[in-house]
């Protein structure tokens, strides 16, 4: 992938919940692409706007490194990496530009069905399994609660049954996964959806004009939707 600076490069999820809607949204802005053989890079044909297809977790890093100019990613992923950057004393270089109206979910605290929920203080001294240690840590600190965070990259909802943790903090949409694991949501710590993420600093080259065009079109398409 060349480090071209006269084209705009947008990172989207390669395969997952956000890939199809992200691509459909950009296509409805009048963009179309020619795919590379490995299907990781899509060269913009109707406008100099290219796509990079990646794991969603890689998107904030690609933005921070300047490899991509924009990304379509869950707010949960963007904010988690922002929280981790802040904890490491690194400055924020990207931010949420526009909420996109799909991929809606909540980051919830969920406890075993048998618990009677009395509020955040009940979490004191407990072990909480999550893939979002940055967001959970920030929320716990805000509540003045001291709890153990068990960071897991997947299968968070079975951690209580395995004895790895007492409860969890995970993404929820329908709630079916929690119910199937005898857990219930008791507290929302963040509401999420797919967002357009981009640089804190404006572009100093032709990408500034391309970005304005893209944002205007996105704005128009999203307005028609609601």
Interface residues toward Zn ion, by CB under 5 A: 56-57
Separation of alpha carbons 61 and 43, rounded Å? 21
Q: Which of 53, 77, 189, 211 binds ligand PRT (CB under 6 A)?
A: 77
Q: What are residue 17's phi and psi, to 5 degrees?
A: -60, -30
- Is the Cβ of residue 187 or residue 210 nearer to ligand PRT in the bound state? 187
Binding-site size for ligand PRT (CB under 6 A) equals 21
Q: Which is nearer to ligand PRT, 122 or 192 (CB)?
A: 192
| Burial of 39 (C-beta count, 10 Å sphere; 0-12/13-18/19+) | exposed
Q: Per CB under 6 A, does 133 bind ligand PRT?
A: no
Residues numbered 32 to 61 that lie near ligand PRT (CB under 6 A) are 55-57
Closest approach of Cβ 3 to ligand PRT, in Å? Answer: 24
18 in contact with ligand PRT (CB under 6 A): yes
Complete DSSP assignment for 60-120: HHHHHTTS-SEEEEEHHHHHHHHHHHHHTTPPP-EEEEEE-S-S-EEEEEEEETT-----G
Least Å distance between CB 144 and Zn ion? Answer: 31
């Amino acid at each position: 992938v060349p480090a071209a600076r006269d084209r705009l490069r947008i990172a989207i999820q390669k395969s997952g919940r956000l890939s199809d809607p992200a691509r459909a949204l950009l296509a409805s802005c009048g963009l179309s692409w020619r795919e590379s053989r490995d299907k990781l890079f899509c060269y913009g044909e109707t406008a100099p706007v290219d796509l990079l297809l990646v794991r969603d977790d890689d998107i904030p890093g690609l933005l921070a490194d300047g490899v991509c100019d924009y990304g379509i990613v869950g707010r949960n992923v963007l904010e988690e990496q922002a929280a981790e950057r802040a904890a490491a004393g690194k400055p924020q270089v990207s931010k949420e530009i526009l909420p996109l109206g799909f991929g809606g979910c909540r980051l919830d605290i969920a406890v075993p069905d048998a618990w009677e929920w009395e509020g955040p203080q009940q979490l004191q001294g407990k072990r909480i399994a999550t893939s979002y240690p940055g967001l959970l840590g920030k929320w716990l600190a805000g509540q003045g609660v001291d709890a153990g965070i068990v960071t897991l990259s997947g299968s968070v909802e079975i951690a209580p049954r395995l004895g790895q943790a007492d409860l969890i903090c995970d993404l929820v949409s329908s709630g079916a996964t929690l119910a199937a694991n005898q857990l219930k949501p008791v507290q929302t710590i963040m509401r999420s959806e797919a967002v357009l993420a981009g640089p804190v600093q404006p572009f100093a080259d032709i990408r500034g004009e391309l970005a304005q065009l893209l944002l205007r079109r996105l704005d128009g398409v999203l307005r028609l939707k609601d």
